[in-house]
């Protein structure tokens, strides 16, 4: 999150360090991951895998 306005900027995935400019307030944020452990979000499937079978088919 942005240190100035608290807008969510990115989720730390495979990166251990990230420098990103906030699109809302323009603050340049430098973020380091607290640890190299995988986030619980990485254990979840994609949004499509959460849909019932056949729900994403177009007719």
pLDDT tens, residue order, the chain (59 aa): 899 999 998 876 766 788 899 999 999 998 777 655 554 554 445 555 555 655 555 55
Establish if 42 belongs to a structural domain. no
**pLDDT of 9:** 85
Q: Please check whether residue 50 lies inside any domain of the structure.
A: no
Give yes or no for a contact between 10 and 39, defined as CB atoms under 8 angstroms apart. Answer: no
- With vertex at residue 5, the alpha carbon angle to CA 2 and CA 10, rounded to the nearest 5 degrees, is 30
Residue 3 belongs to domain spanning = 1-34
Examine residue 8 and state whether it is found in any structural domain, yes or no: yes
Domain total for the chain?
1
Specify if 27 maps to a domain: yes
Q: Is residue 20 part of a domain?
A: yes
41 domain-assigned: no
Say if residues 1 and 9 touch (Cβ distance below 8 Å): yes
Q: What is the pTM of this model?
A: 0.46
Kindly list the distances between the CA atom of residue 17 and the CA atoms of 13, 14, 20, 38, in Å, as whole numbers in the listed order. 10, 9, 10, 14
The answer to whether residue 47 sits within a structural domain is no
């Amino acid at each position: 999150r942005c240190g100035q306005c608290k807008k969510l900027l990115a989720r730390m995935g495979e990166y251990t360090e990230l420098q990103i400019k906030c699109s809302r307030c323009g603050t340049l944020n430098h973020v380091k991951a607290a640890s190299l452990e995988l986030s619980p979000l990485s254990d979840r499937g994609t949004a499509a895998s959460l849909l019932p079978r056949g729900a994403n088919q177009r007719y």
